[in-house]
Amino acid sequence: MKSINKMMEKIPIILITDHNYVLATRIAIRSLFKYKHMGNRYAVVVLGVSLHPGDAEVIKSEGPDIEVRDCDPGRYSDIQCLNHVSTAALFKFDLPQLFPQYDKVIYVDSDVLILDDLSRLYSFDLAGCYAAMVKDYRAMAMLKFHEKMQIDNYYFSGLFVADLSLWRRDGMTEKMIELKRHNTYNGCMDQDVFNVAFAGRILTLPVNYNCPAMLWWGTDAELSAFYSGDELSVMRELRDGKIVPGHIVVLHYFMRSKPWVSLRNSRPMRYWWRFLTPSERVKLYSSLIVKKIQKVLRCNK
């Protein structure tokens, strides 16, 4: 696959955030621009839900061509948040209408580090598929989500390349909202719906485009049951604490314990902190220490 020609239009990259994820969004964008190849251009749009005053300005300060759009928090107010995932994630369903100027976009969650240029990802030929995604092997191996939903494979919805023209043609926004509101696909905020709605029409991406930052399993036997070749090498490196930019394109902190809310001392968690400025690091660390002390004091009452 060829890199995007420098004379071509900007690559549209969409993120979603609420106030609680503003710092994570800033770091995701910061990493995006750090590893961008010279000559390639991004058009970054952040969909903001329930942002506080000043949030949009600090997000836009992270780089050129960053737009922050307010989204109506009431659109999905009748749907309950799930654990660490808010209903803001459901605005993924609305991408075709929110971006009528685009037929193809990259969507990426805010709780990521982007460790390589994304032009190669954008150049994937979707070949009639609604989206290109990475398989969620843990959900398949341990939770059997694909069997429960009677589909062949189960994918992460935290990063995808979308053919929005195809979504529009087939009315996928309405179909996904209908599935979410009136069916039983509610184990995950949006991911179950994507897998059911797009079943059989998802192009499989290599795992390095959406690597889980934490592995709950990872013996050689377990890894080789799902991965081979370069994918197996990447997952072995990740299991062993090796994070190589370029080898890993996107590192995804999709678990409940996020680097900006936890002091867990794993290598993937520490790696995220590298993208903070010294003053940001001190401020965040102090805040987490205070919260930890307050939690201990509450428990001792």
pLDDT on residue 82: 59
Alpha-carbon distance 179 to 194, whole Å? 9
Tens digit of each residue's pLDDT, the chain (301 residues): 444 444 458 999 999 999 999 999 999 999 999 999 999 999 999 999 999 999 999 999 999 889 999 999 889 887 766 555 678 889 999 999 999 999 999 999 999 999 999 999 999 999 999 999 999 887 777 777 777 877 889 999 999 999 999 999 999 999 999 988 886 666 678 999 999 999 999 999 999 999 998 766 678 888 888 889 999 999 998 888 889 999 999 999 988 889 999 888 888 999 999 999 999 999 999 999 998 888 777 777 6
Whole-angstrom Cα distance, residue 20 to residue 241?
Answer: 28
For the range 169-176, what are the long-range contacts, defined as Cβ-Cβ under 8 Å and sequence gap of 24 or more? 170/130, 172/93, 172/96, 172/130, 172/197, 172/198, 173/93, 173/94, 173/95, 173/96, 173/97, 176/93
pLDDT at 1: 43
Check if the beta carbon of residue 179 is closer than 8 Å to that of residue 149: no
Query: Which one-letter DSSP state was computed for residue 139?
Result: I
What's the pLDDT at 301?
Answer: 66
Displacement of CA 177 from its chain's centroid (Å): 20
| C-alpha to C-alpha distance for 199 and 42, rounded to whole angstroms | 30
Instruction: Return d(Cα 220, Cα 217) in angstroms, integer.
Output: 10
Query: Helix count (H) and strand count (E) of the chain?
Result: 13, 10
Taking alpha carbons only, the member of 140, 121, 139, 141 closest to residue 131 is 121
User: How crowded is residue 16: how many other Cβ atoms within 10 Å of its Cβ?
Assistant: 23
Q: Architecture of domain 11-202 in CATH? A: Alpha-Beta Complex (3.90)
Q: What pLDDT, on a 0 to 100 scale, did the predictor assign at position 73? A: 87
C-alpha span between 113 and 271 (Å, rounded): 9
**DSSP character for 155?**
B
Q: Which two tokens stand for residue 2?
A: 């060829």
Contact status, residue 109 vs residue 15, Cβ threshold 8 Å = yes
d(CA 88, CA 73): 8
What's the rounded Cα separation, in Å, for the pair 132 and 206?
10
* pLDDT at residue 187 in the model: 67
In angstroms, rounded to a whole number, what is the distance separating the alpha carbons of residues 263 and 259?
A: 7
Contact 163, 129 (CB under 8 A): yes
Answering whether pTM is above 0.95, one says no
CB 25 within 8 A of CB 1: no
**Domain locations in the chain as residue ranges:** 11-202
Instruction: Name the β-bridge partners of 43.
Output: 12
Tell me the C-alpha distance between 127 and 152, whole Å: 19
Q: Which residues of 177-210 are buried (b: 16+ CB within 10 A; e: fewer)?
A: bebbeeeebeebbbbbbbbbbbbebbbebbbbbb
